């Protein structure tokens, strides 16, 4: 028996927030009581009962990140499933979905079964995508039924767009038949000379051409049309341009089943970060303008963007130390996502805490149909206990890699405990 006592429960839907005692037995929440109930007093006298004093802290559903790169198999010098899950737990995440630009790719049953078996040993809930196309080559569809049976929860070729429109249409038709969502990396490579940096003032200063916003906007436009035509459900991953947010807002009003995710870095930083942090601010799609950043926040506020996803993308120090043009894109993000959400969205008054927690738990769980993102009696005992006002220093990462511009910063929202399946998987 585990009791999380006296914390302020955050209900992502906002209805049942308040100070509560949460009683956990095994991997389930068995009771949610008003403070100081006779039930809790009685249980606390039991020697086997462990109590977490959450007084003055917030208790939210375990966070959900449907976009992480654990680099396993194939690139385990950057990250592996165990270290990735460790970084997730440290960041308050109890559910993650791994991307499939691994080696081998997540285009076959054996690899999917292997990563899920190893994910099940980590203490948190580790899910995986299946790829849309074989070898992520954009030529031939995978066997969707086989990958679903093996455990794939969504389909994506993340890292690469599906440039062939007829293949995209076929993929959408097949995914829709099976009730699965396709997640899309929306950047048309034909527009891009140097990826990872916004085409504009900053790129010019650095002598680079960069990645123009039209690379994203054109793909978002095309894929909204395909989703509308086929009835498929799609996600625009790591949205970066204001126009894309607007396209999705309009499409959703027409009933198109299109969703979007925003990364913590896209709602925190702009292209100027590249001047300060170099390759640690290089990512695909790139950081853009302040007006884009604000449009993303507006999208998060009004629910056009239902999910915050870290796109946790570990790379080795040697790789990121290459010159800006040849260094790989992407940064880590699992450990600082909640902190940046609190600092940039809640402390600024742009989102409520309930809205932030929704976009980091119930939102993504809802889009992909995962059992997560709520706190209720009989439900999963997956929780994060944190103090939004308490600062901490991000000096060391649980990830194998530390390619993030936020390393060394003081951040709000210190996490005290992450609980998954009724077990404490991180204690801060």
Taking alpha carbons only, the member of 67, 103, 98 closest to residue 81 is 98
Q: Which is nearer to Zn ion, 176 or 313 (CB)?
A: 313
CA–CA distance, 156 with 162 (Å, rounded to integer) = 9
Burial of 190 (0-12, 13-18, 19+ CB in 10 A): exposed
Q: What residues between 143 and 162 interact with Zn ion by CB under 5 A?
A: 158
3-state secondary structure at position 234: strand
Q: Which is nearer to Zn ion, 314 or 413 (CB)?
A: 314
Taking alpha carbons only, the member of 311, 280, 288, 291 closest to residue 405 is 280
Give least dist CB 183 to Zn ion, A: 9
Of 194, 311, 335, 354, which lies in the binding site for Zn ion, with binding defined by CB under 5 A?
311
Q: Which is nearer to Zn ion, 230 or 399 (CB)?
A: 399
Q: What is the largest CA-CA distance in the chain?
A: 69
Give least dist CB 256 to Zn ion, A: 23
Give least dist CB 88 to Zn ion, A: 15
- For residue 402 the two structure tokens come to 């530390």
DSSP string over 371-427: S-S---TTSB--EEEEETT--EE----SSS----TTTT-EES-EEEEEEETTEEEEE
CA–CA distance, 106 with 252 (Å, rounded to integer) = 30
Q: Which is nearer to Zn ion, 311 or 354 (CB)?
A: 311
Kindly name the residue from 311, 358, 382, 387 that is annotated as catalytic. 311
Q: Pick the piece of the chain touching Zn ion (CB under 5 A) from 57-65, 218-226, 311-319, 339-347.
A: 311-319
Contact map string, positions 155 to 194, toward Zn ion, x by CB under 5 A: ---x------------------------------------
Give least dist CB 304 to Zn ion, A: 20
Q: Which residues are registered as beta bridge partners of 380? A: 28
Q: Which is nearer to Zn ion, 306 or 311 (CB)?
A: 311
Q: Cis omega before residue 285 (within 30°)?
A: yes
Q: Which residues are registered as beta bridge partners of 211? A: 198
Contact 239, 251 (CB under 8 A): no
E-only strand ranges, 69-115: 93-98
Give least dist CB 163 to Zn ion, A: 17
Contact 415, 389 (CB under 8 A): no
Q: Which is nearer to Zn ion, 21 or 158 (CB)?
A: 158
311 catalytically annotated: yes
Residues in the chain: 428
Q: Which is nearer to Zn ion, 67 or 288 (CB)?
A: 67
Give least dist CB 73 to Zn ion, A: 17
Q: What residues between 236 and 255 interact with Zn ion by CB under 5 A?
A: none
Q: Which is nearer to Zn ion, 65 or 382 (CB)?
A: 65
258, containing H or E segment: strand 258-262
Chain centroid offset of residue 60 CA: 16
3-state secondary structure at position 139: coil
Give least dist CB 69 to Zn ion, A: 6
Give least dist CB 180 to Zn ion, A: 18
Burial of 140 (0-12, 13-18, 19+ CB in 10 A): exposed
Contact map string, positions 110 to 149, toward Zn ion, x by CB under 5 A: ----------------------------------------
Indicate whether 65 belongs to the interface with Zn ion (CB under 5 A).
no
In this structure, are strands 383-387 and 58-61 parallel, antiparallel, or unpaired? antiparallel
CA–CA distance, 279 with 317 (Å, rounded to integer) = 11
CA–CA distance, 260 with 239 (Å, rounded to integer) = 7
Contact 155, 125 (CB under 8 A): no
Q: What residues between 43 and 62 interact with Zn ion by CB under 5 A?
A: none
| Binding residues for Zn ion (CB under 5 A) | 158, 311
Q: Enumerate the active-site residues.
A: 311
């Amino acid at each position: 028996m585990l009791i999380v006592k006296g914390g302020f429960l955050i209900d992502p839907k906002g209805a049942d927030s308040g100070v509560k005692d949460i009683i956990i037995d095994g991997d389930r929440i068995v009771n949610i009581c008003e403070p100081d109930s006779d039930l809790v007093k009685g249980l606390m006298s039991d020697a086997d009962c462990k109590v977490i004093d959450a007084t003055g802290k917030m208790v939210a559903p375990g966070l959900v990140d449907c976009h992480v790169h654990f680099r396993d198999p194939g690139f385990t010098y950057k990250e592996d499933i165990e270290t990735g899950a460790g970084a997730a737990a440290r960041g308050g995440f109890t559910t993650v979905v791994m991307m499939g630009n691994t080696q081998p790719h997540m285009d076959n049953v054996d690899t999917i079964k292997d990563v899920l078996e190893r994910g099940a040993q980590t203490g948190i809930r580790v899910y995986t995508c299946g790829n849309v196309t074989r070898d992520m080559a954009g030529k031939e569809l995978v066997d969707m039924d086989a990958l679903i049976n093996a455990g794939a929860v969504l389909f994506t070729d993340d890292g690469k767009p599906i440039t062939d429109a007829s293949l995209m249409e076929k993929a959408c038709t097949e995914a829709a038949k099976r009730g699965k969502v396709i997640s899309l990396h929306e950047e048309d490579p034909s527009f891009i000379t140097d990826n990872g940096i916004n085409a504009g003032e900053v790129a010019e200063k650095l002598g680079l051409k960069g990645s123009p916003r039209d690379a994203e906007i054109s793909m978002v436009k095309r894929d909204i049309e395909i989703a509308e035509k086929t009835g498929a459900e799609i996600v625009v991953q790591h949205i970066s341009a204001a126009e894309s947010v607007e396209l999705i807002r309009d499409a959703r009003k027409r009933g198109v089943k299109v969703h979007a995710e925003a990364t913590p870095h896209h709602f925190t930083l702009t292209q100027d970060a590249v001047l300060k942090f170099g390759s640690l601010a290089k990512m695909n799609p790139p950081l853009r303008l302040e007006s884009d950043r604000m449009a993303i926040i507006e999208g998060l506020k009004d629910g056009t963007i239902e999910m915050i996803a870290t796109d946790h993308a570990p790379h080795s120090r040697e790789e990121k130390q290459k010159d800006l043009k040849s260094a790989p894109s992407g940064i880590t993000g699992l450990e600082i996502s909640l902190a940046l959400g609190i600092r940039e969205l809640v402390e600024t008054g742009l989102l409520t805490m309930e809205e932030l927690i929704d976009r980091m738990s119930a939102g993504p769980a809802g889009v992909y149909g995962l059992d997560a993102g709520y706190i209720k009696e009989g439900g999963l005992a997956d929780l994060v206990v944190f103090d939004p006002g308490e600062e901490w220093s991000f000096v060391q990462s649980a990830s194998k890699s530390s390619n993030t511009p936020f390393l060394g910063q003081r951040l709000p929202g210190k996490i005290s405990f992450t609980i998954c399946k009724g077990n404490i998987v991180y204690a801060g």
